[in-house]
Structure 1
């Protein structure tokens, strides 16, 4: 059973402004919520999840920002998996199936490489307005 079809035991959802501050807050809120759920700050699992949230939120505000529209962070914990979802308002800006390697001197373009390296699996899902980019981590 995957987290997409499993019923979450607990979940956390928060809308945030599509700004750098909103992306930073998403990371902090995720780390805090994971600590509440028993995954301590600074642990490998918490750090990996926080980095995934940061990359997905940063992509949402950088590549899929619509003025006046927020993005949404959702964490869903099942018995075996943490599913991280970041939803935005731009369905036309969907990530490719796999990350591409940027030029060595490029200052951007490595976010999905990190997502692919850290997540057990990741992907996208359509929404009524926009899209959701999700990543899953198997619980330690």
Structure 2
């Protein structure tokens, strides 16, 4: 597990084919997990979190599908924090400073939403690809 997942009591991991249908499946799974964990789906942060998750999965589908036929989506939460990550096997780690300045495409949307909500975005790479994490306060 990663430090973010280890620190949060509610966790779920989903492996999906890296194709357009993964966006819908990742989002539906998030909604189901949040409901099971007792998190109100009508909280304003939930809509933004689902948009962020959709952008992260979409980025993987667009940019990593040739190298990474599957993606892993990680979900975690506690009473006050929500975290999502998308892991693919593509070695490129997008620089977050470009996204923060508006030159990061979909990642720019992720950065802006996370900033507005008081959350964080981080890229963690290893020999097996990279994970892009978003953590948001609930």
TM-score relative to the length of structure 2 = 0.82
C-alpha displacement of 1:76: 1.4
- What is the RMSD of the two structures over their aligned residues, measured on CA atoms? 2.1
Q: Determine the C-alpha separation between the residues in 1 that align with 2:26 and 2:73.
A: 7
1:106 corresponding residue in structure 2: none
1:62 corresponding residue in structure 2: 62
Q: Determine the C-alpha separation between the residues in 2 that align with 1:5 and 1:86.
A: 13
2:86 corresponding residue in structure 1: 86
The Cα offsets for residues 91-115 of structure 1, whole Å up to 9 and x where unpaired, read as 1x2111221536xxxxxx6411221
Q: Determine the C-alpha separation between the residues in 2 that align with 1:66 and 1:128.
A: 17
1:101 corresponding residue in structure 2: 102
* Structure 2 gaps, min length 5: none
Q: Determine the C-alpha separation between the residues in 2 that align with 1:117 and 1:38.
A: 27
* Residues 85 and 113 (structure 1), Cα distance of their counterparts in 2 relative to 1, 3 Å cut: same
Q: Determine the C-alpha separation between the residues in 2 that align with 1:97 and 1:26.
A: 23
Which stretches of structure 1, 4 residues or longer, exceed 4 Å deviation after superposition? none
* Structure 1 gaps, min length 5: 103-108
Q: Determine the C-alpha separation between the residues in 2 that align with 1:132 and 1:85.
A: 6
How many residues in Structure 1 have an aligned counterpart in Structure 2? 130
C-alpha displacement of 1:60: 0.8
SS of structure 1 residue aligned to 2:11: strand
In the alignment, structure 1 residue 29 sits paired with structure 2 residue 24: no
